[in-house]
Amino acid sequence: MDADFWLQRWRDGLIGFHQSDINPFLQRHWQRLGLQGGERVFVPLCGKSKDMLWLRKQGHSVFGIELSELAVDSFFKENQLNPSQRHWAGLPCYEADNIALCQGDFFHLRPEHMSSVRAVYDRASLVALPPAMRVDYARHQANILPVGCEVLLISLEYPEGQMEGPPFSIGAAEVETLYGQAFEIEHLETCDTLERNPRFREQGLTELRESCFRLSRR
């Protein structure tokens, strides 16, 4: 699963991972991170998520990274924002009304991009990656995030073999394996969500659980 896979998904409009509503875990648990208004929040593999608008409404400065230029352009157009453009540490960056989206590869981010970031919101990034890439993703995230940074992570879990990801099934044990060395981990909530995700039922899932975790960079 390489960059071309995701770029083609955006070109073909196969973006079932995009949610039209604000994520309920985000609304219920964001305050658990203990942030103050105005702090910078990073959203990896952000797509055109409306959750970024909600984070801005809480008073945060939002910084996202997205591989697809089409997704970045769609976010600003659909939300009637007119961004300015600049290059920031090697990446093209588009910015309007306290939301800055860099167009490029997550793995090209460096600590200098993250120096002012105080929290991360990951709803659809980790679950989009196959196993080997998840290891690299978690390691790179640990390498670039400053000590004390908080992460709100949302994962999905479903019976093995019932669906071919993405999104991939990731349980609490794997979250511990991926992040336990560099982060303190707090399991905030798990709930059954199959009833409100009919597209997954149509793909044959008989169970679907979503979990929310708070990670604190040591």
- What is the side-by-side strand order in the sheet with 183-192? 84-88, 91-96, 99-103, 61-66, 40-43, 117-122, 150-157, 209-217, 183-192
Same domain as 129, residue 217:
yes
- State the pairing for strand pair 99-103/91-96: antiparallel
62-68: average pLDDT: 96
Last residue of a domain, one of 121, 145, 173: 121
> Which residue would you say has higher pLDDT here, 35 or 10?
35
* Averaged pLDDT score across all residues of the chain: 94
Looking at residue 53, its pLDDT comes to 98
State residue 3's pLDDT score.
Answer: 81
Determine the 3-state secondary structure of 8 from DSSP: helix
Segment 157-166 mean pLDDT: 93
Q: According to the model, what pLDDT value does residue 16 have?
A: 66
Beta bridge partners of 182: none
Answer whether residue 52 shows pLDDT above 70: yes
Return the pLDDT at 24.
Answer: 95
pLDDT of the residue at 1: 57
In the predicted structure, residue 203 carries a pLDDT above the cut 80: yes
Which residues form the domain of 98?
Answer: 38-121
Write down the pTM of the prediction. Answer: 0.95
Query: Are residues 101 and 171 both part of a single domain?
Result: no
CATH of the domain at 127: 3.40.50.150
Task: State how many domains the chain has.
Answer: 2
Q: What is the pLDDT of residues 75-125, one digit of tens each?
A: 999 999 999 999 998 899 999 999 999 999 999 999 999 999 999 999 999
Is 26 within the bounds of a domain?
A: no
Question: Does 205 share its domain with 194?
Answer: yes
